């Protein structure tokens, strides 16, 4: 009886497992798959709406059309040409590209200035297409959802914390999923194969990885929307492995000459927004200015500032101390009622609070306490302010033993929240990419200072143009620079 019971119990499981097996489109081998192709497509469609809502779509129809044309050309020669492929430039300054199941590919506007030619650009898209055709994206998403990640929103500086979590929502948790080393190498190989098939130089894959490695070395992992090298691990031997894939792709491609199209690509990205978009506010030094909402605030000097669509966050350089700024959704009752409800909803208890004004704006400033996973007991100084018929929250948080050291800086920052006049708001402009011909005597330091008023570091400008940071530009070269306004 027991043996028959075991057989009856396991048989449906075995049948289900067999049904879940699918043929990998790239390898041709049978493998366990938790998502059918139709489920991949439906999942991608649902997540696409979230990506567009949270990240925004870059408002350049001609650039979007160009990206889609290159992407569709690559996808048609991939291992899954019949997927409903979609290619979108998202309005984010981070240097990244990512793929969702079902053929949804995204590239940030922030990565485009760091690509040197169309072959590198095609290589980025080809790499992401490879993640979809080999079902890496579906597998990563299935693994995440089975572990309870799903569509959880992660904080920029303090992920997995409930207090102030609503203040630190930045992007879909699925975008933080990492592919393993083997998946990355396979996507590199597929990217080289797809670009070579379509006549682009597959060396673009290696060039792109070299530049991205320089970015990572020069500035470290960026926060907010994760950068390419935080979501696409790069082992030390990966570039060498790429060269082997490039040579193989060249040998098997139907044509002997491969295009790079440097000038054409430069013309495409000439004028693209670099850094923050004015619609989401801009960071200038330690100041954050928002023209549409007409306010400015100064974060503590030296703190790392990250601007995301739903909030702005700052972190102290050597302390576990954080600040956040965002709009309060659906405020109800008085300003004090709104403050208490929002902070209590985040698990924070009011210690003391007072109504008053900050630079002529009605405000309720309170001190709160609570417990944050990973930080322990914390103290929070928070101000709720009324401005332009909206309620803003500016808050600083640190563990109890740290708070006294940063309280002064947090308080001064909160007190700096200041309305902007229409004339001041109108003067806020985006930084943009401009194509410039190097003149004799030019250095990265001079170009950076002259063109962008210090809004880009000289070493970043060198990396953007595929130069080692210790090598100066050559007269006559066409390079990308960042211009103010």
Q: Chunk the chain into consecutive blocks of 10 residues (it has 485) and report each block's average pLDDT, rounded to whole numbers.
A: 37 41 62 72 89 88 98 96 96 86 92 95 95 78 46 28 34 50 84 94 88 70 45 57 84 79 95 88 90 96 82 88 91 93 89 96 96 86 96 95 96 98 91 94 90 75 91 95 83
Handedness of CA 329, 333, 334, 339 (dihedral sign): negative
Q: In terms of DSSP H, where are the helices of 223-358?
A: 228-231, 238-252, 262-269, 335-345
Is residue 124 within 8 Å of residue 111, measured between CB atoms?
A: yes
Whether 109 and 91 have beta carbons less than 8 Å apart is answered as: yes
pLDDT attached to residue 272? 96
Please give the pLDDT value at position 90.
93
The reported pLDDT for the residue numbered 464 is: 93
Retrieve residue 300's tokens: 């503590």
Q: What is the second-level CATH architecture of the domain 431-483?
A: Roll (3.10)
Predicted local confidence at residue 454, as pLDDT = 56
Cβ–Cβ < 8 Å for 391, 384: yes
Both tokens assigned to 70: 């290159």
CATH 3.40.50.1100 fits 278-426, yes or no: no
Reduce the DSSP state of residue 365 to 3 states and report it. Answer: strand
Handedness of CA 52, 151, 169, 125 (dihedral sign): negative
Average pLDDT, the chain: 81
Alpha carbon distance 396, 404 (integer Å): 12
Pairing of strands 86-90, 104-108: parallel
Round to whole Å and give the CA distance between 70 and 48: 20
Domains 278-426 and 431-483 share a fold: no
Write the DSSP assignment of 85-131 as a string of letters. -EEEEES--S--EEEETTTEEEEETTTGGG--SHHHHHHHHHHHHHH
Q: Which residues of 312-333 are buried (b: 16+ CB within 10 A; e: fewer)?
A: bbbbbeeebbbbbbbebeebee
Distance between CA atoms of residues 420 and 441, nearest Å: 40
With b meaning 16 or more CB within 10 Å and e meaning fewer, what string describes 213-242?
bbbbeeeeebbbbbbbbbbbebeeebbebb
Could you tell me if 185 and 193 are in contact, meaning their C-beta atoms sit under 8 angstroms apart? no
Pairing verdict, β 349-358 and 418-419: unpaired
**Taking the domains of the chain in order of start, what are their residue ranges?**
1-33, 35-274, 278-426, 431-483
């Amino acid at each position: 009886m027991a043996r028959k019971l075991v057989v009856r119990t396991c048989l449906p499981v075995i049948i289900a497992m067999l049904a879940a097996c699918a043929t990998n489109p790239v390898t041709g081998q049978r493998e366990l798959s938790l998502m059918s192709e139709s489920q991949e497509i439906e999942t991608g469609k649902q997540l696409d709406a979230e990506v567009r809502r949270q990240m925004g779509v870059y408002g350049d129809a001609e650039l979007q059309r160009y990206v889609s044309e290159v992407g569709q050309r690559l996808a048609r020669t991939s291992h899954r040409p019949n997927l409903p492929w979609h290619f979108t430039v998202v309005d984010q300054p981070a240097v990244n590209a990512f793929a969702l199941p079902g053929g949804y590919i995204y590239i940030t506007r922030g990565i485009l200035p760091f690509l040197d030619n169309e072959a590198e650009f095609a290589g980025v898209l080809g790499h992401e297409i490879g993640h979809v055709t080999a079902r890496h994206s579906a597998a990563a998403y299935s693994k995440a959802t089975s572990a309870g990640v799903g569509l959880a929103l992660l904080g920029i500086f303090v992920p997995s914390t409930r207090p102030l979590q609503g203040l630190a929502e930045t992007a879909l948790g699925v975008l933080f999923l990492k592919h393993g080393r083997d998946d990355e190498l396979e996507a590199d190989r597929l990217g080289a194969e797809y670009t070579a098939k379509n006549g682009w130089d597959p060396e673009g894959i290696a060039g792109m990885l070299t530049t991205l490695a320089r970015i990572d070395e020069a500035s470290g992992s960026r926060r907010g929307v994760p950068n390419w090298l935080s979501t696409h691990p790069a082992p030390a031997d990966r570039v060498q492995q790429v060269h082997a894939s490039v040579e193989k792709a060249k040998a098997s491609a139907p044509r002997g000459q491969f295009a790079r199209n440097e000038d054409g690509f430069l013309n495409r990205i000439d004028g693209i927004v670099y850094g923050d978009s004015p619609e989401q506010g801009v960071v200038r030094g330690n100041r954050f200015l928002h023209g549409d909402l007409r306010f400015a605030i100064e974060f503590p000097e030296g703190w790392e500032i990250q601007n995301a669509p739903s909030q702005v966050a700052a972190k102290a350089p050597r302390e576990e101390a954080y600040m956040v700024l965002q709009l309060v959704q659906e405020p109800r009752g008085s300003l004090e009622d709104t403050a208490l409800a929002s902070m209590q909803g985040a698990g924070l208890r009011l210690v003391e609070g007072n109504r008053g004004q900050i630079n002529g704006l009605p405000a309720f400033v309170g001190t709160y306490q609570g417990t944050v996973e990973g930080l322990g007991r914390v103290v929070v100084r928070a101000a709720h302010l009324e401005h332009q018929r909206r309620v803003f929250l500016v808050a600083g948080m640190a563990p109890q033993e740290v708070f006294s050291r940063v309280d002064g800086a947090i308080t001064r920052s909160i007190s700096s929240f200041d309305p902007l006049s229409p004339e001041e708001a109108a003067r806020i402009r985006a930084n943009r990419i401009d194509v410039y011909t190097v003149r004799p005597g030019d250095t990265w330091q001079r170009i950076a200072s002259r063109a962008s008023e210090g809004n880009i570091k000289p070493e970043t400008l060198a990396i953007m143009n595929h130069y080692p940071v210790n090598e100066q530009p050559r007269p006559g070269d066409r390079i990308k620079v960042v211009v103010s306004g």
